[in-house]
Amino acid sequence: MPSLFAFPFRLKPRYQTVQGYSDGEDGTLSELNHEIDDGSAKQTPRGWIPYSTCFVWLNLALFILSSTLFVLSLRPSRPLYVDRIEGQRRNHEWRHLAMPSPLLDEADIRIIRKRINGTLLNTKPPIIYRQEPSHEVDRAWASLYDTRPIALTREQVLAIGKDPAEAVRIPPDWGRGNDSYFGRLDVFHQLHCLDALRREARFDHYYAARYPGGFNSTSGLHQLHLTHCVWLLAQNIMCSASTDVYTHVWTDTLEHPFPDFNIQHRCKDYDAVLAWQRHNALDEGAFVDLRRPEGYPYRVMTHEFKEIHGWFAEHEDNGDFESGEIA
């Protein structure tokens, strides 16, 4: 019985009368001038593919398929984040949890699984971010963030709920066109505030020379900046509201359970955020040197704001206590 695998490769046979016989006038076969060994009319099938050839091609196809699957299995596992789903915008997942940002339009921010180092004791050797104050430690912390401004379009300013008429415009001679504005990524301001708290915890190292009387002798602006940073970080922690959980362990030292803060989180790829920032950041020094153009709208600040910034040293105190506060 023929193999089932041969059927798909079997072509329709065509038959031909073997030379030596032809139809006679009476409808019977008449013998020609030469003899046929068995004396009967034989038929030879044409158009068959041998079974061996079928199996060769089938085995070749299976080999190619299995080889392809093996090679694909060797590829590293993809991150939790899918780069792009057809019909969806870039960073589709993050757009549900974030305000509009040029970064989400221009860079793929993956979701990565990251284990947080939450140990009470320091590592050996100590991780640099937890070492005693030094120039190297300061440089390490400074490398974590980049507070330089970035360029925003008018549409991007409107998307975050701000009025372009009040936003500081990038001068046309900066090469950004006539309708672009200064912006900054909030994550770097948060890290700046955290770095400020780190320095405050080492007050003697960073501020003793300037304020020998201790924290209570610091300027009003210094103390306001500190409280600003503490409350800003608190609000951002509540805004992100991590729902990840941690467990507890028993130790041979304490009678009560001890928390295990070394847990997994699903995080934005911070390296991609920082790389985008460094590629798109504008000149900080030139930004600081900008001065308000004539006729440009401005906010009238409170009396306390002006006093903290020494405004009354060169201006008359107009007694304005009613205006808004944004800084």
Q: What is the 3-state secondary structure (H, E, C) of 128-140?
A: HHHCCCCHHHHHH
pLDDT digit string, tens, across residues 4-63 = 444 444 444 444 444 444 444 444 444 444 444 444 444 545 555 566 777 778 888 888
pLDDT digit string, tens, across residues 226-266 = 999 999 999 999 999 999 999 999 999 999 999 999 999 99
Backbone angles phi, psi at 165, to 5 degrees: -65, -25
Count of other CB atoms within 10 angstroms of residue 4: 7
| Bond before 125 cis per omega within 30 degrees | yes
Higher pLDDT, 323 or 144: 144
| pTM (global) more than 0.85 | no
The closest alpha carbon to 174, from 293, 283, 87, 65, belongs to 283
Mean pLDDT of the chain: 83
Maximum mean pLDDT: which of 7-11, 84-88, 130-134, 302-306: 130-134
For 10, 206, 320, 324, the CA distances from 302, given in Å and listed in that order, are 93, 30, 6, 6
Count of other CB atoms within 10 angstroms of residue 229: 19
Beta bridge partners of 115: 264
Are the C-beta atoms of 137 and 310 separated by less than 8 Å? no
Are the C-beta atoms of 150 and 184 separated by less than 8 Å? yes
For 12, 50, 115, 237, 259, the CA distances from 264, given in Å and listed in that order, are 65, 60, 4, 17, 14
Q: Note the residue count of the chain.
A: 327
Are the C-beta atoms of 131 and 305 separated by less than 8 Å? no
Q: Are strands 180-183 and 247-249 parallel, antiparallel or unpaired?
A: unpaired
pLDDT at 107 over 60: yes
Distance, C-alpha 260 to centroid of its chain: 28
Mean pLDDT value of segment 62-90: 67
The pLDDT of residue 290 is: 95
